[in-house]
Amino acid sequence: QSALTQPASVSGSPGQSITISCTGTSNDVGGYKYVSWYQQHPGKAPKLMIYDVSDRPSGVSNRFFGSKSGNTASLTISGLQAEDEADYYCSSYIRSLTLDVIFGGGTKLTVL
């Protein structure tokens, strides 16, 4: 498996909520709690927003919520703000003879 599956783009209006999915297999997302989410603004480094499926690092807004069901993890952003417009990537530990971690293809969030 080369990458976790994410939608290419999602959009929402200020104040609304959106959800980004991240689909893998039982060897990665479905088998472990080691799912993380990253926010990347243009020209900037990714920033950790969620780890261990649903935990937030210190300083990350509680508008960001992570969850998982089966082989699909989700990132929900509530109360959308203009500053949330960015690319979002998921990652997961993977049980493999060769790889330890796998990334999603990324989702472009547009705040309308």
Partner 1 sequence: QVQLQESGPGLVKPSETLSLTCTVSGVSVSSGTYYWSWIRQPPGKRLEWIGYVYYSGHTNYNPSLKSRVTISVDTSKNQFSLKLSSVTAADTAVYYCARIVTSNWSFYWGQGTLVTVSS
Residues that bind partner 1 (CB under 8 A): 3, 33-34, 36, 38, 44-48, 51-52, 89, 91-93, 98-106
Q: Tell me the longest C-alpha to C-alpha distance in the chain.
A: 44
Nearer to partner 1, 82 or 97 (CB): 97
Shortest Cβ 112–partner 1 spacing (Å): 22
Cβ(103)–Cβ(42) under 8 Å? no
Smaller CB separation from partner 1, 65 or 89: 89
